[in-house]
Structure 1
């Protein structure tokens, strides 16, 4: 498909017109320049129209300017409406209908921000932290109490601020309603605020306005061209006639008519889309669910450990204070108190990195979801394509100069800004490639202009040349233009056959074609040729899609355009040709395909055409029910429900406010190439989070196992202040994981919780074994517990709690160097930020041990060196265990998470769900 807006060289040789192919790499290198030229040309179009309009003045006879008033020639049939079509509604009618149906605006549910903030203190991890704070207060341990409360408040503030910054989709959809409306009230046309429109109002719509409410055209013989791309994604204006519905927020590009308002506010097409968005936001989010599952499991383990401790304390007749101290120690170490803060910081740093590349993350959890996305559903218009009609190589009849064809087509166009449509803009924009046509255009004077006629399927203009010759210029549906020419004089058979064959060829290639002809004064009609037009792909789309596929993504196109156009675009971009009409899904109540086959059909399709918001929403839902993580890209109001429903909603550059608010990530840079950077970055961030979660669970299990055994067997525990600082040091040291050097996976990544727990448990056991060895080797040479020791790994004088604190801190901090690497820990160097943070914490922990902070006894430097050496030995053992587990296929098979099974039970459930959807939709139609 020719992407460039030029045409073939003419025969004279005095100029040439470039011909670019979309997949040609040399052509692609110049696209950025072409786009800059496009922007400059767009600015010049208005100036050109102003010049042409001023030259025509008031002499041109524009049929599109003729307006019929209600009650005149265009009488609205009484049998179509209850409203008096000559008088409209009166004041009493308006008050009654407004009371019954409400204002023409979308309902908004206010969210209590205080309650929303309090919800950040709810969850398994938060509950354990809050219980620990209460215990610390009961024991009058104010240091621990202050630290725990500070962590709770920090986690809540970070989460609340991030959520508060997200846009409100209902507010943005509300803004798409028109601000003003012209209605017939008491026999007079009056302008009112759009929210004041009520069902039954007689609404005047004309070119250039935004339709304020859904309305059915009631004017006899009316013809409108309506741009509803923001609703359905169609790139060209849609023809509307009497009996057709104009949807709220669509734009009238040509014509004038009167409509009876059939729906307002939430009942409009856009309003129903808003309700879909609201219903899509009820989930908790994938990452939130993962953290909840981890927190719940850790909470269960804490309760189990506490039961062991309480039972052992009961048989030893420990006092209540001693039992509470044991309980507080287990509670503090049992859950990763800094887990929410560290993962939030990791994602926030990634979001800041993406922001530098003009990708704004509105919901941090979307980064994690994007890393695991397996299917990318994308809108076509404005996402894969430019949303800007472009002309390709014209077909010209033998002997016809392409400049003559272009000049004739531009003369058969409106010279009024309000009347200019996407097709006329495309012709005017392409004039830069036809300098002779561009120079000659302003020299012609329009005598009479007739806009598009739905019967004859053409636009016609009578113009006067600089020499005073009158010429009739026509462009329109190719076969209708051919009939116009043949009605005047027979067209040679070989020319007619070639012309028809070219029309068929363009249609199969997905082009919209326009036939162009002219009739000179005192001459017969002559056919000039055909101009194909299309909405071309963005310059980087082909490369972006290929790179996305290398990252393990399956891509599906969802568009409101016709099947032929969608299929051709998909073929050119390498997406495949399995593009089907959305009606084949049968989700509108008319399908016969069993539910499970609908699921299979959606899964196998490369995309769907002629879709509406409900189709997009249901496709996303079906894929999610099949176990896929789904991302959706889009830019219009029509994309909002599926953007909100998707695991990751992506609004591309130029997206509407509604799409931006519904999306999780908003791209400000043009094209889709930024998505690739986002995918890579999200997978790097996921790797950092996964490494931290494995590390942090292993730490919790380490101390639960060690302290639980120590308390149960020996009825002793570590100093409480040191326990708190172990937890703080672990999280402070690893906050820098957000800045670590991390690889990105070549396939989508997910939380495989069974494997994560398996590795964490084994690492926790190794850590606990190392600490237990450190403790038990002191016993044979212990002088007076818990004072001096001179045996085991410690020589000369040392303090038991200080030695244990140092060994625990060192081995736990170094574990992150193991979990962050895909292979051996030396295969990937950590960032200087992570290395520095851990080194600083290790030094502080060493000083704690040397000076005996909180325990009152010093530890000899020789003992400290021995602890460092022993800890490094434990580190090497952990590294070997982790490396063997990573490369073990048997361990993967044992611990691999199960995917959703497509068994008969699931297929029966799918049949039931789809049947229920069809019954519900059919009920809506009948009621």
Structure 2
């Protein structure tokens, strides 16, 4: 640049009319106040620091098809056809699932098998009422499950929406438009501003590109691409033009590998589904054992076939909790409706249960932990320099055209209100020449004309390069250089993205003004929310694409810890030279990872899950979709892409981490309700299974079959209100402690069975004129009342953390239980099932007796629930110890297999490259032969 004669310029205090610019509306330099207001109102702009470039070829294996295609001639039509035949079309493959088959799969499972068996028995007995009830319950459960499975939509379909439809390629020496699906490896692509890149490719021309990779990285800040760097399919060209040579298409692109990770994560069944299946399988085994006892006793007594079938149907109906799926679904649906009011949309109901047990939250940084706004911190100024002078010079070396303004320039313009003198003076300077950021010199340069007619060169850029620019032309005072360099190092260590500022009057000397640090600051509520998360037993690990210093400084400010590492040891090969157990310990102890890719996030989640943790993952971009799907609870944060929303279990409409913590508390309350209900419902099944099994085996009698079916359904009617119960949230992550749960349920079931047996035997005590009934009612209906009362009241015991009186139930639950108890009493009094009234005295005595059983159950449950000895016995801790050596060997084996798989994949790619080389040599020989 030619030297321009001018004298040193300071901020003028004179009142000078602002200059006008006759440019077109789109490109005009706006009034400063209007420009600031416009930038503040643009919610869609995310001013976050750009993440580390992802152009390392070794990290994106692709097809490794680095063809040396001549960009002037491109491929021939014949070559393109051959490669399309070999590599397939440039599109993501998606296997369409048979909807009917998927719907029918919801009729498969332990509980479903028992219900289907009961339906067949009902047909054999011509009991069409029971058959209809059972079929209705089966259909209801299957329909709810099917809807929940598919309401989130297809993730791969969402990924396809971001891909290009058309492409401009060089074929047979001509530039032509083709369908994007026709692009093949080795094609020469011509891309211009606004083009959606149709496939992965390397830049082959010396043109600077600005590429929006938000569909790939989740970060909205455009990145610069130069010759030799990779542009990814679905990226959008924001500025510039160039030619690319395609290196990967279809499933082999970065987007394709992301889709493949999503598919592999989608194959896992939900955590809650596994829990229910294990409970159902155990109950199925108990039903079979009880039926064996009943059948043996019936055959011994030579009972009629109809009688045996009736006994079998009775045991089958009460042996499994037929209403369990409906009540659990209702409980979670009510919770989901409450979360929706708090701007959290639940897409998979079982995610509520998973969120309650989450122990590790892997959170992205930008927008969740931070404000997602590039913000200026207090600048460093060289001695004697006014901060307003520094800011004025920096803003002069910034674009003031709203169209095409980058995030850094926006940050400087929006900071002007804090520097009123600079803001006032800025509009009085006229920009004569403006050179945008140059990736080679790493600076922005502007030549401006001051109100006094003085021309000044203003420079803003990387601090080291600004220092280099000045030092190449003149000697810098030692004190200035030392202070500037020390501050530059300090800002770098603290993770700031800093910009040096200098100016030079035409014909004069350079003046270094200072350094302006930029950062994406933490959200105002994040630090307090993280402290609260720690009190809730939640560990937070930050996963970000930013550089390590930035991630470490953010982590330090938030109190997450400073054990933040890069992603080198999280490679697809299994962690470099770390053994399996070392890698797992490394991930477990880390506070976060920087410079991560989708595969790294996926690996972190997988490693933590293999260590037994329930893991939640937050994300917003396409790159987050695999890890969102892999996690036990995938969370799409505010502003997430469609693909991320489809992959997530919960979508948050409110920004920040605090919304997630609020949802976690609510999920633990919902879990408490479900836990109380599951213990209650298993105990009820065991109660009637034990009682009826013994009654049939010993006395060869049973309750009226219609009463049995009515009890099985009646037990769940009142407890539907458990969804609205008052429930505390646990201060620690909650999980299904199945051994203890089964122990409590079995003992409560035994207490209930003993109570009902006492009621039965005292009714028959000393003949017809003694006992509870005293000949004033029918045995079956009195037993029905006793069973109904004791079973309904059990929920008041299991819902409390302490004694049953320590926590009052909600009015909805209390009212529902009271109404059902009244209905049961009326059934007994009027004899609606068997016929003949029951004495009010007998009903009162049953109420009193049931109250006694209730108190016994309450005492037993309270003692066992708080007993560590009971918990140890149920887990067999007195016989077992954790075999840490075996666990370490298993970890090592898993990682060794992963490495072996990666080596095999690399060998396959090498063989592919060799095939390509042989093909090219053969082609060359044919061309020579033709010559």
- TM-score scaled by structure 1? 0.89
Please name the residue that 1:632 is paired with. 617
Q: Work out whether residues 368 and 655 of structure 2, in 8 Å CA contact, stay in contact via their aligned partners in 1.
A: no
Please give the per-residue CA displacement for 1:146-182, whole angstroms capped at 9, x wherever unaligned. 1111111111122222222123211122222245544
Change (3 A) 1:623 1:516: same
* Residue pairs, 1:13-162, within 5 angstroms: 41-43=39-41, 81-162=67-148
* Residue pairs, 1:495-644, within 5 angstroms: 495-588=480-573, 591-644=576-629
Unaligned runs of 5+ in 2: 1-9, 15-34, 46-64, 910-931
How far did residue 613 of structure 1 move?
1.0
Please name the residue that 2:924 is paired with. none
Please name the residue that 2:30 is paired with. none
For 2:179 and 2:333, the matched residues in 1 are separated by 42
Q: Work out whether residues 391 and 419 of structure 2, in 8 Å CA contact, stay in contact via their aligned partners in 1.
A: yes
For 1:39 and 1:598, the matched residues in 2 are separated by 50
How far did residue 409 of structure 1 move?
2.0
Please name the residue that 1:755 is paired with. 740
For 1:831 and 1:876, the matched residues in 2 are separated by 20
1:916 and 2:897 are equivalent in the alignment: yes
Range with greater deviation from structure 2 (359-368 or 178-187): 178-187
Q: Secondary structure at the match of 1:198?
A: coil
Q: Work out whether residues 586 and 918 of structure 1, in 8 Å CA contact, stay in contact via their aligned partners in 2.
A: no
Q: Work out whether residues 652 and 672 of structure 1, in 8 Å CA contact, stay in contact via their aligned partners in 2.
A: no
Change (3 A) 1:45 1:295: closer
1:331 and 2:316 are equivalent in the alignment: yes
For 1:334 and 1:296, the matched residues in 2 are separated by 11
Q: Work out whether residues 12 and 425 of structure 2, in 8 Å CA contact, stay in contact via their aligned partners in 1.
A: no
For 1:365 and 1:421, the matched residues in 2 are separated by 42
1:839 and 2:818 are equivalent in the alignment: yes
Change (3 A) 1:710 1:769: same
Q: Secondary structure at the match of 2:334?
A: helix
For 2:685 and 2:860, the matched residues in 1 are separated by 18
Q: Work out whether residues 589 and 919 of structure 1, in 8 Å CA contact, stay in contact via their aligned partners in 2.
A: no
Please name the residue that 1:830 is paired with. 809
Q: Secondary structure at the match of 1:780?
A: coil
Please name the residue that 2:764 is paired with. 779
Change (3 A) 1:485 1:46: farther
Please name the residue that 2:710 is paired with. 725
Change (3 A) 1:191 1:385: farther
Change (3 A) 1:439 1:192: farther
Range with greater deviation from structure 2 (724-733 or 465-474): 465-474
Range with greater deviation from structure 2 (701-710 or 427-436): 427-436
Please name the residue that 1:704 is paired with. 689
Unaligned runs of 5+ in 1: 1-9, 15-36, 48-78, 784-789
Change (3 A) 1:717 1:798: same
Please give the per-residue CA displacement for 1:413-459, whole angstroms capped at 9, x wherever unaligned. 34555643222222222233334433443443333222322332212
For 2:450 and 2:194, the matched residues in 1 are separated by 30
For 1:492 and 1:417, the matched residues in 2 are separated by 38
Please name the residue that 2:438 is paired with. 453
Please give the per-residue CA displacement for 1:86-112, whole angstroms capped at 9, x wherever unaligned. 132444444444343333321122222
For 1:12 and 1:189, the matched residues in 2 are separated by 55
Please name the residue that 2:162 is paired with. 176
Count of residue correspondences: 858
For 2:898 and 2:235, the matched residues in 1 are separated by 28
Q: Secondary structure at the match of 2:806?
A: coil
Please give the per-residue CA displacement for 1:199-245, whole angstroms capped at 9, x wherever unaligned. 222223455544332111111x4444444455346686544332221
Match 1:434 to one of 396, 419, 426: 419
Match 1:856 to one of 835, 838, 842: 835
1:872 and 2:858 are equivalent in the alignment: no
For 1:410 and 1:485, the matched residues in 2 are separated by 19
For 2:898 and 2:420, the matched residues in 1 are separated by 57
For 2:165 and 2:377, the matched residues in 1 are separated by 38
Please name the residue that 1:903 is paired with. 884
For 1:461 and 1:230, the matched residues in 2 are separated by 33
How far did residue 467 of structure 1 move?
3.5
Q: Secondary structure at the match of 1:347?
A: helix
Range with greater deviation from structure 2 (897-906 or 469-478): 897-906
Change (3 A) 1:589 1:853: closer
Please name the residue that 1:767 is paired with. 752
For 1:437 and 1:106, the matched residues in 2 are separated by 53
For 2:374 and 2:882, the matched residues in 1 are separated by 45
Q: Work out whether residues 253 and 418 of structure 1, in 8 Å CA contact, stay in contact via their aligned partners in 2.
A: no
* Residue pairs, 1:347-426, within 5 angstroms: 347-414=332-399, 419-426=404-411
Q: Secondary structure at the match of 2:804?
A: coil
Please name the residue that 1:29 is paired with. none
Please give the per-residue CA displacement for 1:690-746, whole angstroms capped at 9, x wherever unaligned. 100100000000001100010000000000011111111101010110110011100
Please name the residue that 2:50 is paired with. none
For 2:394 and 2:572, the matched residues in 1 are separated by 42
Q: Work out whether residues 471 and 519 of structure 1, in 8 Å CA contact, stay in contact via their aligned partners in 2.
A: yes
Q: Work out whether residues 459 and 474 of structure 1, in 8 Å CA contact, stay in contact via their aligned partners in 2.
A: yes
- TM-score scaled by structure 2? 0.88
1:485 and 2:476 are equivalent in the alignment: no
